[in-house]
Structure 1
């Protein structure tokens, strides 16, 4: 399907929020995950080492956790989830899944043995098991300095008990490069500008993976067997000199006091010929697949754009979201995510999803 075959339906979750989560006296620091179930919203904050629980009208109910390695403590909250009566929190530094009751009491903990760098949970299958990616520990670049490369990342299925059930696939990781270091004896690996990333999501008894090599998302069964291909044609967005300059300005502005240094670092960075055609991939509560479309740097100020596919892979709608908004979960008529304001402060919001 090409751009000319785009569906007429255009959905939107832009505009004023329906609800904003009230963090009380403690602002969000580094939100890694947020999820809603019924009238409860749970937010995982990695650097604050806490899980915050809100009512659906935005009121803070309680917080769970603190910095540490003991029961109910965290080194890094990488993911949060909910079951019918429990709150789940994953700490990749401790390799531990903590299970809390709805009122915040620690019920049990499960240690997961995974050798890698910050293993990430991408979702839960219908049977309660989880899809986890396990990036390798970063070493010195396997290519010449300044050239990009991608490691191979292992994906496994893990039971709620912490048992690793099986390996379900190996896919490319993020595109990175070795940046010059002030200390010649050391090296630094950084994500490449406009680099390809691999995104994964779980929907019922399938998981989906997009590597950014083409406008394509591959679906698999829980044991890793190919099941569905979702794809369409998309216009290529070349990385022109103007695009590089706009990207450099964006990075420098975001770096604040380090802006000039960040701009100099990009002078030796490997820019690709074109922007990867896909970004984030998510599944909604009704089994649809949402694929974030590539945008030029200047266009991002006008918000994000998504293509929505049904469970059979048919392109059924386009969707538009607000700028500087990271989507965490999509419900039947709402979208939960984090919006960064002009000062770089994050706000967890529920946006209304309007279909037309």
Structure 2
């Protein structure tokens, strides 16, 4: 894969978002071509069916959350060679029925299981230590190095409508246990497509290329992007709204090709076995006039807030806007549109993507230069 195209934008004063910064204030973030590619290893047990997440441990081993196969956590060395599998499929301690997510929160690794929304905790040496359940059902979540979590809950069934709708949803911060945590209030949730028969709700699912909140949490604040504009709400750990991190945004018209791209992203995350169902569901939904403003959100190891614009099928790359916690834009970079970013350290970026030539799902490690 050729080196990634990088658009470097100097850090400017808040009132001069796109101006020229002085040398003292400039910050450049560059992402190079991948140095590690995981997914081509033909050793037994190393095959990746669908990626639920990936993390890099302090010893530089890479753990891939794999939906499918005998083990749900696949461990690779720093060069991408398969080491072992763990978290066997099951319901016992250290086993996983169906992996929802995997996160590294400081020096511990957390997994989310569909079985009763059970959360399990492993040390950085991948030894199982405990299990718990969050106090409330979680639709989406993120954590920081202190094992503090920011959550988005599920919409109430009472709010379900026939067709496209978007209902208010609870957002909150919690520690890594079953305590209720701190409320961030009710905010717009996932844009969904509901089915109602004879006046009774039957079910709902995320709207194809619909607006979806994205979450991240750093050392001093939790962040929520709602997808309506290139704006991120920052909350302190008492639940107080601090500020919005905002940059200019120009709406992009949605096309049928964007729906096709969304199908491919979903199949990469959920597995090839979901292709037919996903295709049927996504293509029967009404397409929005424009794409959402944002898709993903994370905080890197230096505290920068990375905000992904929603990928357009017209482009092979997508822009990530990097904010300082105080709100200034630090940089903008271009990454492959199909790349799902899981972690950004001081000197690396870890993401998942389907190879253009082979279709094989890979987890790739990219160098980050600052």
Give the TM bin, normalised by the shorter chain.
0.7 to 0.9
Alignment correspondent of 1:278: 294
Name the counterpart of 2:55: 35
Aligned to 1:303: 317
CA distance in 2, matches of 1:82, 1:258: 27
Among 153, 156, 168, the alignment partner of 2:184 is 168
How far did 1:252 drift? 7.3
CA drift of 1:286 comes to: 0.4
Give 1:184-199 correspondences, 5 Å limit: 187-199=202-214
> How far 1:44 moved relative to its partner?
1.8
Distance 1:263 1:41 in 2: 32
Identify which range, 306-315 or 1-10, moves more after superposition: 1-10
Alpha-carbon distance, 1:210 to partner: 0.5
Shift of 1:263: 6.8
1:64 aligns with 2:83: no
* Mapping of residues 49-60 of structure 1, within 5 Å: 50-60=72-82
Q: Give runs of aligned pairs for residues 10-21 of structure 1, distance below 5 A.
A: 11-13=29-31, 15=33, 17-21=34-38
Q: Deviations over 1:231-271 (max 9, x none)?
A: 011222133xxx2x323554678889998997776665222
| Equivalent residue for 2:233, pick from 209, 218, 231 | 218
Q: Does 1:336 align with 2:350?
A: yes
Q: Whole-Å Cα distance in 2 between the matches of residues 252 and 57 of structure 1?
A: 31
Indicate the residue corresponding to 2:8 in structure 1. none
Quick one: distance in 1 between partners of 2:15 and 2:249? 6
Aligned residues of 2:301 and 2:346 also touching (Cα < 8 A): yes
Distance 1:42 1:14 in 2: 21
Out of 191, 205, 216, which is 1:201 matched to? 216
Rate the CA distance shift 1:125–1:225 in 2: closer, same or farther, 3 A.
farther
Tell me if 1:291 matches 2:302. Answer: no
Superposition pairs of residues 1-356 of structure 1, within 5 angstroms: 5=18, 11-13=29-31, 15=33, 17-21=34-38, 24-26=43-45, 27-38=47-58, 39-48=60-69, 50-82=72-104, 86-114=108-136, 116=137, 119-124=139-144, 126=146, 128-136=147-155, 139=157, 142-143=160-161, 145-146=162-163, 148-178=164-194, 187-239=202-254, 243=255, 245-250=256-261, 269-299=285-315, 302-342=316-356, 343-354=358-369
1:325: Cα distance to partner? Answer: 1.1
Structure 2: runs of 5 or more not aligned: 1-13, 22-26
- Contact residue 44 and residue 50 of structure 1 kept, 8 A: yes
Q: Deviations over 1:113-153 (max 9, x none)?
A: 42x3x543311363x3322322146x48733x33x112333
3-state SS of 2:115 partner? coil
C-alpha spacing 1:2/1:44, structure 2 compared with 1 (3 Å): farther
Shift in CA distance, 226/67, structure 1 to aligned 2, threshold 3 Å? same
Matched-pair contact (CA < 8 Å) for 2:166–2:191: yes
- Seen in structure 2, the aligned counterparts of structure 1 residues 317 and 124 have a Cα distance that, compared at 3 Å, is closer
Structure 1 position 185, deviation (Å): 9.2
- CA spacing shift, 1:324–1:268, aligned 2, 3 Å: closer
Q: 1:211 to 1:185 in 2, by over 3 A?
A: closer
Residues 163 and 184 of structure 1, relative CA distance in 2, 3 Å threshold: closer
Q: Distance in 2 between matches of 1:220 and 1:296?
A: 29
